[in-house]
Amino acid sequence: MGNRDATGDSQADDKRPGREYRTVADLVDDGVYRLDADGCFIAVTDAFVELTGHTRDDVLGEHVSSLVDGQDGERFDDLRTRLESDANTTFETAIETADGDRRPCTMQVSPLVADGEVDGTVGVVRPIENGARQPDQPPATAVSEPLATVIDEADVGMVVIDDAFDVVWINETAEAYFGVDRSDVIGQDKRTVIEETTRTSLAEPDASAETDDDNTDVEQFECHITPGPDREGRWLEHRSTPLESGPYAGGRIELYYDITDRKETELARVESNQRFESLVDAVEEHAIFMLDTEGHVVSWNEGAERIKGYDEAEIIGEHFSVFYTDEDRADDVPQQNLTQARETGMVEDEGWRVRADGSTFWANVTITAIRTDGELQGYAKVTRDMTDRRERERQLRHERNLIEQILETSPVGIAVVNPDGSTSRANKRMAQLLELPAEDASAYTAGQRAMFDADGAFLPVEERPAFRVFETGEPLYDQEVLLDPDGKRRWLSVNAAPITSEESDPERVVVTATEITELRAVAERRKRELKEREKELATVRLATNLLKTGEQPTEELLQEFVTKLPQSFRYPDRTAACVSVGEHEAATESYEPSEQSIAATATTANDTPVTIDVVRTTSQPETDTEPFLEDEQQLIETLATLVAFHFERQEYIDELQAETRRLEQFAYAASHDLQEPLRMVSSYLQLIERRYGDKLDDDGREFLSFAVEGAERMRSMIEGLLEYSRVEAQGGPFEPVDLDAVLEDVLRDLEVRIIETNAEITTASLPTVEGDASQLRQLFQNLLENALEYSEGEPRVHVSAERRGEKWVVSVCDDGIGIEPEETDRIFEVFQRLHSREKHDGTGIGLALCRRIVERHDGEIWVESEPERGSTFSMTLPAVSEDGA
């Protein structure tokens, strides 16, 4: 196309060249103009109009100097000359704009040559502030094609093809873009060029080729140039416009803009969007979806499907307000949320949302406005199902409230103490106990309040319960702390326990406190009372002990009692006492009757008066306003009664003893005195028998023998009785008695009976006991005689002994006839017998005598028996105190 004249037909039709240039030039951003041979504007582009601010009508026909600096205007006149030698030129000037400003710009001018003559100029105006070109940049390589000069300047690849699709021109930029040489492609068929030369360079050659087939529309598409040896890889935007007039009418002008940067950014964005989308799709915990600017759902992820229950197909396109409850919709909440997101960029909300099945869940929702270059694109909405968490939080809150409530309503003061002594928590009760204002309880620091120990000594902070727990790590219980020792004297019982974490040192200590002032007062009173009682009890015990002995002479007893009595009183040193029982009286040394006294009296059954009189020896007015306590009065009354009881009993015992003695004397006297007349009866009966025996008939002799027998029986009864009455009065002194020896003696005496009855008597080893040897001999004799007597066959008898405490239990066991259970008591009475004399001879006094002997030895006797099988008589006898043998 080299020598083709771009303005070739300008003479024929003035408008054609204008249109032609405009078509091309309008695709270029810079202002392009054409001047006629006289330097007047005959065509300008829209960009020129915009740049200068003058309308096209104002400019056309005007001389170039009306718009440019005067000097520069003159330069245009020189141009004609200059251009003849120098094909084109660029210079800086200033354009006068419509509003009078002078706008600096570069102006590039190229001569238009027609038929060897310069026929006007064509130029490009570029404002300097645009900075698109350096003002001093050297002019582009001169070519014969003026338009190409202009076009080459632009960063735009340009290819012009004629109606036969032959390339007629290609600019430098396009050469670089496609990696071709102008000389190789001009004149070639465009399709061939694309196929053969640039086939591989155009990523979408078909799209490019197709446009050529349909040559009427403005085409626009993007294509990718792959990198090659002569070219860089890049993205181009292709625009082509059909040329309707001029030399290439029916051809096209194709422009290629480098859009690599934009395209790469775009691709990167697409790629990251894809990555992001796949990420978002996979998230299940969150519903993540996009809304368009109106609030319609445009995307949907797995989480959204799971949480909201809609599948993608059914929800896309729906308005997002379906997720809201009816009430929220009625209150216009969805729209408000969108509005807020639009205005502030983001909105976060928590509330009930509705699933596809109508169920609701508690949701946390964020809506973020998505903007590109400030323009709202839609919204991203993220929804989380918080139902579980909300429930957990609700429960936690509930628990916390409960604990809080327990803490606050607890009747026990509770505080949590930090290692530095400050309080991290304290309840109302604690505040009350420490007398702090309730709201300040937690501001309390140990040491603020003085505390004292049980002895009233000041408690330094480090010795208080909480600090001791910090030190030892061990809990502490029931520590008594005194507050206000000089005032209200309030007592607290304090417990403290460490709160530890994994066996480390205590982080905090829980301290609880309860007020025990009342309790302590009560306890102390009780203690005092107890002490008093103990004192009284001791006195009473003493009195009972003293009085029990009974052996002591009355005077001595009373003296001992009265000497110890003051010790039971509050001030023993200043207390004196006097006790009298009947005619007996005993008093402490310092006793003198006084005004300050208390007295108690009692009488025995025999009307013996008992008096206890207690006096204060020295008077001390401050303590003696009430010289004696009521308890003390009660004590001596008790003691008086006790003393009266004692003497009453003593009197009774004395009487009994006297009575017994009288009876014994009577029995003794009676039996002793009866012996004499009985002996006389017996003597005379013997005399009758001897002298007149043979004169009596049988009856007479029989009667006489009855009388003799009766007298004999009477004698043994009287003897028994006599013996019985003498047990107490005529008994020997007690001494250790070897029962083995005693038994040996008895058995010797009974030898004849034993042989007669063919009895077998066995004995275990018997102890030595404390007693009256002859009475014990009597005892064994009676028991063994009975054992031999009350037996049907050959008697088997066993004697044994068993230690029981201070006593020996000695038993005589036979296999005889036995005794009916109801008779076991009666047989120990005097003259009580169970059998006739014909069957078993006896007086009925043996066991009575045994009982009396045992009783004299401070023991008991009893029988265990079974009729037909035998009897065991047992008795207790005192062991010998020293060796117990």
Residues that bind ligand ADP (CB under 6 A): 782, 786-787, 790, 814, 816-819, 827, 833-835, 842-848, 871
Among the listed residues 197, 203, 211, the one whose alpha carbon sits nearest the alpha carbon of residue 239: 211
* Number of C-beta neighbours around residue 748 at 10 A: 9
Nearer to ligand ADP, 154 or 746 (CB): 746
Q: How far is the CB of 673 from ligand ADP (least distance, A)?
A: 23
Region class of 737: left (phi > 0), else alpha (psi between -120 and 50), else beta: beta
Q: How far is the CB of 876 from ligand ADP (least distance, A)?
A: 19
Report strand pairing: 286-291 vs 375-385. Answer: antiparallel
Q: How far is the CB of 844 from ligand ADP (least distance, A)?
A: 4
Q: How far is the CB of 847 from ligand ADP (least distance, A)?
A: 4
Beta bridge partners of 202: 225
Residues 6+ apart with CB under 8 A from 636: 598, 599, 600, 612, 614
The string of DSSP codes covering 588-651 is -TT----SSEEEEEEE-TT--EEEEEEEESS--TTTTTS-S-HHHHHHHHHHHHHHHHHHHHHH
Nearer to ligand ADP, 262 or 835 (CB): 835
Q: How far is the CB of 729 from ligand ADP (least distance, A)?
A: 21
Nearer to ligand ADP, 397 or 713 (CB): 713
Q: Give CA–CA dist 88/146, Å, rounded.
A: 9
Q: Give CA–CA dist 468/465, Å, rounded.
A: 5
By beta-carbon distance, which residue lies closest to ligand ADP? 842
Nearer to ligand ADP, 290 or 827 (CB): 827
Nearer to ligand ADP, 64 or 797 (CB): 797
Contact 494, 505 (CB under 8 A): no
Q: How far is the CB of 720 from ligand ADP (least distance, A)?
A: 8
Tokens describing residue 391: 């429930």
Contact 611, 580 (CB under 8 A): yes
Q: Could you identify the residue written with the tokens 């086939």?
A: 199
Q: How far is the CB of 795 from ligand ADP (least distance, A)?
A: 9
Residues 6+ apart with CB under 8 A from 42: 14, 18, 34, 35, 36, 60, 61, 120
Nearer to ligand ADP, 559 or 871 (CB): 871
Q: How far is the CB of 785 from ligand ADP (least distance, A)?
A: 7
Nearer to ligand ADP, 284 or 866 (CB): 866
Helix (H, G, I), strand (E, B) or coil at 492: strand
Nearer to ligand ADP, 330 or 752 (CB): 752
- Exposed (0-12), middle (13-18) or buried (19+): which is 621, by Cβ within 10 Å? exposed
Q: How far is the CB of 833 from ligand ADP (least distance, A)?
A: 3
CA 37 from chain centre, in angstroms, equals 104
Nearer to ligand ADP, 64 or 845 (CB): 845
Nearer to ligand ADP, 341 or 787 (CB): 787
Q: Give CA–CA dist 702/708, Å, rounded.
A: 10
Q: How far is the CB of 804 from ligand ADP (least distance, A)?
A: 23
Task: Tell me how far CA of residue 786 lies from CA of 228, 688, 760, 842, in angstroms.
Answer: 153, 35, 14, 9
Helix (H, G, I), strand (E, B) or coil at 33: strand
Tokens describing residue 413: 């003061």
Q: Give CA–CA dist 876/854, Å, rounded.
A: 7
CA 344 from chain centre, in angstroms, equals 45
Say which amino acid occupies 116.
Answer: G
Cα 436–Cα 439–Cα 440 angle in degrees, nearest 5 = 50
Nearer to ligand ADP, 1 or 819 (CB): 819
Q: How far is the CB of 650 from ligand ADP (least distance, A)?
A: 34
Q: How far is the CB of 802 from ligand ADP (least distance, A)?
A: 20
Nearer to ligand ADP, 171 or 843 (CB): 843
- In the chain the first and final C-alpha atoms are separated, in Å, by 162
